[in-house]
Amino acid sequence: MGCRPDELTFTPSGTHAVHSGIFGTLAARRRAGRRLVHSAVEHSSVLHAAEVHEAAGGTLTEVAVDRTGRVAAGDVAAALGTDTALVCLQSANHEVGTEQPVEEVAALCREAGVPLLVDAAQSLPWGPAPGAWSVLAASAHKWGGPPGVGLLAVRKGTRFSPQGPLDERESGRSPGFGNLPAVVAAAASLRALRAAAETGPDEAARLRGLVERIRARVPELVPDVEVVGDPVRRLPHLVTFSCLYVDGETLLQELDRSGFSVSSGSSCTSSTLTPSHVLRAMGVLSEGNVRVSLPYGTGEADVERFLEVLPEAVRSVRERFGVPVREAPARGEEAAETEEEPAGVVVDSLGKRCPIPVIELAKAIGGVPVGGTVTVLSDDEAARQDIPAWCAMRDQEYVGEQPAERGAAYVVRRRG
C-alpha cells in the first residue's frame, strides 16, 4: 500500500473509502476553506461526494483534461486558491487508463499546504501510488481480491475528522461489523500479486504489450474507430475505443455472445442516458464505446481471437442500422448536380437515440453540396458530444449548436 499499518483503515468498498476520505479531510480543513478541487475525469464516487459537498454550501473547482484524459499539473496548481481545502486526483483513469501526474501534483499541493487525496483504485494492483499524497483510497476487488474491502490510508500528520455516525471500529473511521475474512483474502491476494511480480515474468509489461497490439490493430481492422486515452502514460491492462455508427449495447451483446465481456461508457448502455462523463470531458466519440480490461494472466490467443471477432461484430451492428460503408459520393459531380438551398438540409432525429443521429448525419452529408450544411435536430444527450467528434474524425466542419424547440440543433458544414 505504501503506508504504515496505523495509517490504514478498511472500509466496505473503494467508494466508501473515497467518501470517508473526502468528508474527513474537508471537515478537518473547514477553517482553511471549503473549496474542493478535482479533475473532470474522477470516479463517480468522487463526483457524488463533491455534489453533496456543494449542496452543503461548499464550492467546487473542476480541472479540465486534454483529449487523452490527462490534467496538466499547472492547471491544478492554478486552482490552489487560498480557500482550497482538498484536491482529489485519481492515479489513473478507470475508463480510459490514462495516468495522472500524481507525483507532480502532490509536490505542488505540499508546497501550497493543501492535502491531496489520491484515488489509487486503478493503479494499486501494479504498485504503490507515487508522491507525497495525504489520503489514499483503493479497492481490493480491483487487484483480484474479494468485494467488500475498501482501503483508506490517512498519512500521519494529515488533519482528519471522520464524519457521520461512527463507532470504535477501524480507528473510528469506518463503522460497522468488520469483514475480517475478506480483509485477509484481500491482503493475501495483493501479497501474491506482488510476489509474482518480483519473482516471475513482468505481467504488467506483458499486458502492456497486448494492449499495444489492440491499440494498433483495432483501427486497422475496423473502419471509423477512435482509440482513446494516453498511448503511453496509461494502465498496463486497459484499452478503450469508440466505433462510429454503432449502438454500444448491441455491440456488447455481440461480443458477449462470442465470449468476451467488455464494458462501455456509451449512453446506450447506461441507465442514465448520458454518455460517460470521462469521454465527455475528453471530448472524444462516445458512441459504440468499448472498454477492454485484460485480467491478470490473459493469454495472447484470447487477444487474437478478440481481434478476429471484433470486426464482424461491428460490421453486423452497422449493417442492422443500414450504415452505408464509406459512402462518400464522387464529390464534384454531386455538388454540381444537387440544387440544395445554401441553407442545407435539416435532419429530424428527435426521439432517436445514439447512434442514430450520427448515422443520419453521415447519410445526409453526401446529399448537400460542399459548403452546404446539415442541421441535425436531436434530443439525445450523446449527440452533443458525438456530432463534433464525428466531424473531427471525418474532417467536416462543426459549425455549432443552436437552441431548438425540443433538444438542440447541431449544424455541420460539408468540407469535401
**Active centre residues (catalytic):** 268
**Minimum CB distance to its own copies smaller for 32 or for 183:** 183
- Cβ distance to its own copies smaller for residue 19 or 29: 19
Can residue 175 be called a binding residue for its own copies (CB under 8 A)? Answer: yes
Task: Supply the minimum distance, in Å, between the C-beta of residue 276 and its own copies.
Answer: 13
x/- track of binding to its own copies for residues 123-142 (CB under 8 A): ----------------x-x-
Given 7, 9, 13, 241, the residue binding its own copies (CB under 8 A): 13
Nearer to its own copies, 16 or 34 (CB): 16
* Cβ distance to its own copies smaller for residue 51 or 397: 51
Give the binding range for its own copies (CB under 8 A) out of 81-89, 144-152, 328-336, 347-355.
Answer: 144-152
CB of 190 to its own copies, least distance (A): 17
Distances from the Cα of 207 to the Cα of 57, 138, 176, 268, angstroms: 45, 21, 38, 29
Contact 9, 153 (CB under 8 A): yes
Residues 137, 148: Cα–Cα separation, whole Å = 14
| Angle ∠(216,217,222) on CA atoms, nearest 5 | 125
Closest CB to its own copies among residues 5, 165? 165
Task: Answer whether 150's CB lies under 8 Å from 140's CB.
Answer: yes
Over the window 266 to 285, marking each residue x when it contacts its own copies by CB under 8 A and - when it does not, the resulting string is -----xx-------------
Residue 287 identity (one-letter amino acid): E
358 near 245, Cβ under 8 Å? Answer: yes
- Please report whether residue 168 would count as binding its own copies according to CB under 8 A: yes
Residue 343 CA to residue 209 CA, distance in Å, equals 50
Q: Which is nearer to its own copies, 94 or 280 (CB)?
A: 94
Residue span 85-114 as binding mask against its own copies, x where in contact by CB under 8 A, dash where not: ------------------------------
Task: Choose one: 165-173, 234-242, 257-265, 308-316; the region binding its own copies (CB under 8 A).
Answer: 165-173
Q: What are phi and psi of 321, to 5 degrees?
A: -85, 0
Minimum separation from the CB atom of position 258 to its own copies (A) = 24
Q: Which of 234, 239, 393 is nearest to 306 (CA)?
A: 239
CA distance 16 to 381: 30
Do 220 and 183 touch, CB atoms closer than 8 A? Answer: no
Site for its own copies in 23-82 (CB under 8 A): 44-45, 48-49, 51-52
Q: Which of the ranges 175-183, 207-215, 283-291, 391-399 carries the binding residues for its own copies, by CB under 8 A?
A: 175-183
CA 254 to chain CA mean position, Å: 22
Alpha-carbon distance of 372 to 314, in angstroms, equals 30
Q: Which residues of 103-115 are buried (b: 16+ CB within 10 A; e: fewer)?
A: ebbbbbbeebebb
Contact between 265 and its own copies by CB under 8 A: the answer reads no
Within 357-416, which residues bind its own copies (CB under 8 A)?
none
* Smallest gap from residue 189 Cβ to its own copies (A): 14
57 CB-contact burial (10 Å; exposed 0-12 / middle 13-18 / buried 19+): exposed
Q: Which spans of this chain sit near its own copies (rule: CB under 8 A)? A: 12-16, 19, 44-45, 48-49, 51-52, 139, 141, 146-148, 150, 164-168, 175-182, 271-272
